[in-house]
Every structure is written in C-alpha cells, then in structure tokens.
Structure 1
Amino acid sequence: MAQIECGRGHLYDPEVHPTCPYCNGNQRITVAAAGRTAPLRTVDMNRTAPVSVTAPQPTAPLNRVPVAEGGKTMPPKGYGMSVTDANKTMPPRGYGGASVPERTAAPAGYGTSVTAAGKTVGVMQAKMGLDPVVGWLVCVEGPSRGKSYTIRGGINSIGRSDRMDIVITGDMKISAENHAKVSYSDKNNRFNLIPGDGRNIVYLNDDEVFSAMPLKAYDIIDFGETKLMFVPLCGEHFTWKMGAENGIV
C-alpha cells in the first residue's frame, strides 16, 4: 500500500495506522532520503521534568565551632558564661544575689529569739534582751506526772499543740490550743490563771474558773486528767527588776 503524509510531513501506512503514529506517539522518526526535516521531540506540558538534586549539604558555620559528643554546639573558646557541673548558668562576677542575714540565736535556756522572726516581743524580753523564767508549773497528777513547764513573762498559753507556750501531751481531755492561760505582769509583779477555749472546765484549788483568778505559790490547777502545781520564782522576795537594782542580774 502506498504511504501517505500527515500534516507535519510524516509518512505512514494508513492500513496499519489510522493516524500518524509519530505525532500520537511523540516519537522521533528518521526521514529517509526524502530530505525532510525530522520533528522536534514534544514535551508533555502536564509533566514536570525531574531536576537532578544533589545530596543536601549542611551550611558550614563562619567560625569553626567544636561539637560535643551529644551533638550540641559548644560556644567558641573564651565566650559564654561559666557553667557549673549542674549545667546551670552562673551570674557574672559582682552580680550575685544579696546575702541573707542570719537570725540571731536565742541564748541557751532563754526561749526563742524573735529579732528576725517578726514576732511581737514581750515587755520583759524587750527590756532584758531575753525571755527570763518567772515561775514553773509542775505536773503532780496525770499522764505527764513529774514533768515541769517554764512560765515566762506575759501570757503563756496551755494546750497539747506544739504551738503552745506550755505543751502538755498524753491528756486527750486537754484542748489542742488555749485550754487555759497563765500570765505574769512585770509591772504589778502578779500571776493570774485565765480560762481558755477548752470544753472542759478549769479548776483552781477545786473551784471553777470562769474569769481571771490570782495565782499563789503551790496552788493546784486542775483540768482534764492533769493537775499542775504552781511554783513562782518572781514574787514578794524576788523580781528581775529587784535583781537588776541589787546587782544580782
């Protein structure tokens, strides 16, 4: 069969190919001695030609920076802050935190110092620079029998809690806080027993106490299962003021 020519000058057999196989197949043909120009290779406009990509290359730093074993960048030598073993940044020299003033410890046997604790200072403590003993309570009956408790100037709260001035343990009939109070007035040189917030009644020498009652030597304070004997230091024969005037203290 004779070959025919397509619109682009391609020769093909119409019995074998219904249309030009060179145009539809995007194939380059070799033109015989007919001297025709071969078509340029067509490119499918819907396809993106692959671009040759080389392996990614990390950008090198301007300066050579050493790298630690963990892969972290180390600062250049001579730069950065000094670091302790705990990997914490140390402040520059001269910029450290202010030193914390230490609290003044109380003299042995004279209670707690309150110079830096922000607590109210008792009158006697303010005058003398310490909180002196003015008397004692001695447990003569109850779970704490034989134990003594120090009385100091001002108001002394009694209860089972550690926050009390006089802590009595082992007697669950005593309130945790402020079951009763014992006071000493430096101005009047006088002791008093004051009822507190306890549910059980406080007795003084077997009499109920509903208001402040004066305390005398060897009086018995009774509450819960506990009985306390009052033993004064300050009184008719001695006060801290008298001792100072007589050169005793």
Structure 2
Amino acid sequence: MGPAVGWLAIISGPGRGQVLVLHYGVNDIGRGIKARVRLDFGDACIALENQAAIIYTAGSRRFYLQSIAAETWLNERPARGSAELMGGEVLQFGQTRLRFVPLCGPDFDWRDNI
C-alpha cells in the first residue's frame, strides 16, 4: 500500500473518533473485507464493497472523490460522479460523517527528492 497520503477522520456516527489512512491510487470505501478503506463500525447503510472511492496519484498530486452508490454526500450535497477534494470536506456515507485531511498535494509528495 505504501505511505499515507491522507486520512479520513470519522466525526459522527458509528466509529466516531477513528482515523482511516488513504494511500496512493484508488482507495475504495465500503464495509466489506475487500474495501481498502473499511468502514465496518455498525452503519448498515454503507455499501458492503463499493460505496465510493478516493483517488490520489503522484502525477496529478490531486485527490478525487468518485461516487459509486446512492447515499454518498459531499459537504451536505449528493455526490454525483467525480469531484476534486482540496481538504476539509465532509463526506457522508449512510449515518457516518467523515472529514477529509490530505497530507500529499502540490507542496509535498513522498516521491519528491527532499
């Protein structure tokens, strides 16, 4: 999986206070064991495998939310298709709300020669 590129912090709902690590590439979100970002804290409204995905690539140094299932919200609005994430956004899946916190981006990436 490699180093962390960002995090999702559960701010309300089942699992409140938990922090989930994001990695390079496609971070698929769901309750099931195959989900890279597993939200298995008791919210049955979250899809088992593919609720949504957060994508980060070193080439673009940008994060994107890809909505896959219904009941995916971004900043209190239904998420449709793909949306760029800048940092501080609130995502909601079922009854679970999460805050997006990037580490990598235009100013830093683990692949930089520092």
Which structure has the larger Rg? 1
Q: Secondary structure of the residue that 2:5 maps to in structure 1?
A: strand
The match for 1:192 among 64, 79, 100 is 64
- Counterpart of 1:163 (choices 22, 30, 34) is 34
* Cα distance in 2, alignment partners of residues 235 and 186 from structure 1: 8
User: Structure 1 residue 226: deviation in Å?
Assistant: 0.4
Distance (Å, rounded) in 2 between the aligned partners of 1:207 and 1:216: 16
Q: Within 5 A, what are the aligned runs for 1:134-173? A: 134-169=5-40, 170-173=42-45
Instruction: Find the counterpart in structure 2 of residue 15 from structure 1.
Output: none
Structure 1 residue identity aligned to 2:50: N
TM superposition score normalised by structure 2:
0.94
Higher strand share: 2
User: Aligned partner of 1:148: which letter?
Assistant: V
Moved over 6 A (4+): none
Q: SS of the residue aligned with 1:182?
A: strand
Q: What amino acid is aligned across from residue 136 of structure 1 in structure 2?
A: W
Which residue among 89, 108, 113 is the counterpart of 1:219?
A: 89
RMSD (Å), alpha carbons: 1.1
1:29-83 Cα deviation digits (max 9, x unpaired) = xxxxxxxxxxxxxxxxxxxxxxxxxxxxxxxxxxxxxxxxxxxxxxxxxxxxxxx
Superposition map of 1:1-249 within 5 A:
111=1, 131-169=2-40, 170-196=42-68, 198=69, 200-242=70-112, 245-246=113-114
User: Matches of 1:160 and 1:223 in 2, distance apart?
Assistant: 11
Normalised by the length of structure 1, the TM-score is 0.44
Q: Deviations over 1:125-174 (max 9, x none)?
A: xxxxxx12100000001111000111000001100001110111110000
Gap regions ≥5 residues in structure 1: 1-110, 112-130
CA distance, structure 2, for counterparts of residue 146 and residue 138 of structure 1: 7
Judging by fraction of residues, say which structure has more helix: 1
Q: Which has the higher contact order (CA 8 A, sep 6+)?
A: 2
